[in-house]
Amino acid sequence: AQSVTQLGSHVSVSEGALVLLRCNYSSSVPPYLFWYVQYPNQGLQLLLKYTSAATLVKGINGFEAEFKKSETSFHLTKPSAHMSDAAEYFCAVSDRLGGSEKLVFGKGTKLTVNP
Amino acid sequence: DAMVIQNPRYQVTQFGKPVTLSCSQTLNHNVMYWYQQKSSQAPKLLFHYYDKDFNNEADTPDNFQSRRPNTSFCFLDIRSPGLGDAAMYLCATSRDMGKQFFGPGTRLTVL
């Protein structure tokens, strides 16, 4: 079965600093991988999605992620953190359900941005 | 704007009292999902509808049921809520294998 592991349940950075959120996956087939963001008391918003077209995926709000098969990783980065980036971030892998898609989420990483 | 709407945003129920959560969508997507997200945990898929076909996850308790009367609406019924069912319930939609769009969630409190 597909799974993802997010290293670090809490990450704290200063405003303007690099953001690095780690995700490793386990998959028996080439995976589809996702990063979602969740602001307090809100639903999930897709940041970016890897579908094997390109290893470096650019998403919304200045985030990007690089798929590294040799490391089974899909880490999320942003060069310069903004206060508005404070949220919880979930890495997910897709498990196919016939014609639809089941998302298996990691446990999440809560990002704090300090002024 | 096309979107996924969940009502109510906050629901309080009593232990053992049936409760229904609602999800509607204007995206005309054929797949609708229900996730349960407990505090500080990852969302967990309960079940999904692919068109009219209902697909239950193996570990979803029998206490949880769902209805999809038409393409736009999907309901989550909790027959006898327990304290352990307090959570955020997220509805999502997609077109086949496409991107999932999430609603804002309903936070359920069980007293």
Res. A2 pLDDT band, cuts 50 70 90: confident
In this predicted structure, the answer to whether residue A98 has a pLDDT above a threshold of 60 is: no
Taking an 8 Å cut-off on Cβ atoms, the answer to whether A99 and B97 are in contact is: yes
Q: What is the mean pLDDT of chain A?
A: 90
Length of chain B measured in residues: 111
pLDDT at site B1: 64
Q: How many CB atoms lie within 10 A of CB A55?
A: 12
Q: How far apart are CA A111 and CA A89, in angstroms?
A: 7
| Identity of the highest mean pLDDT range in A11-15, A36-40, B36-40, B101-105 | A11-15
Pick the residue from chain A with its C-alpha nearest to B30: A100
Res. A96 pLDDT band, cuts 50 70 90: low
Q: In this complex, which of A44, A49, A101 lies closest to B43 when CB atoms are compared?
A: A44
Taking an 8 Å cut-off on Cβ atoms, the answer to whether B105 and A46 are in contact is: no
Res. A30 pLDDT band, cuts 50 70 90: confident
CA distance B74 to chain A (A): 16
Q: Is A106 helix (H, G, I), strand (E, B) or coil?
A: coil
pLDDT at site A52: 77
Query: How large is the average pLDDT for residues B17-33?
Result: 95
Q: In this complex, which of B48, B50, B105 lies closest to A43 when CB atoms are compared?
A: B105
Asked if A100 contacts A40 with a C-beta cutoff of 8 angstroms, the reply is no
Q: In this complex, which of A36, A100, A103 lies closest to B50 when CB atoms are compared?
A: A100
Q: What is the mean pLDDT of chain B?
A: 93
Q: How far apart are CA B20 and CA B45, in angstroms?
A: 17
Q: How far apart are CA B22 and CA B28, in angstroms?
A: 16
User: What sign does the dihedral A9-A37-B71-B74 (CA atoms) show?
Assistant: positive
Chain A residues at the B interface, defined by Cβ less than 8 Å, are 36, 41-46, 49, 90, 96-103, 105-108
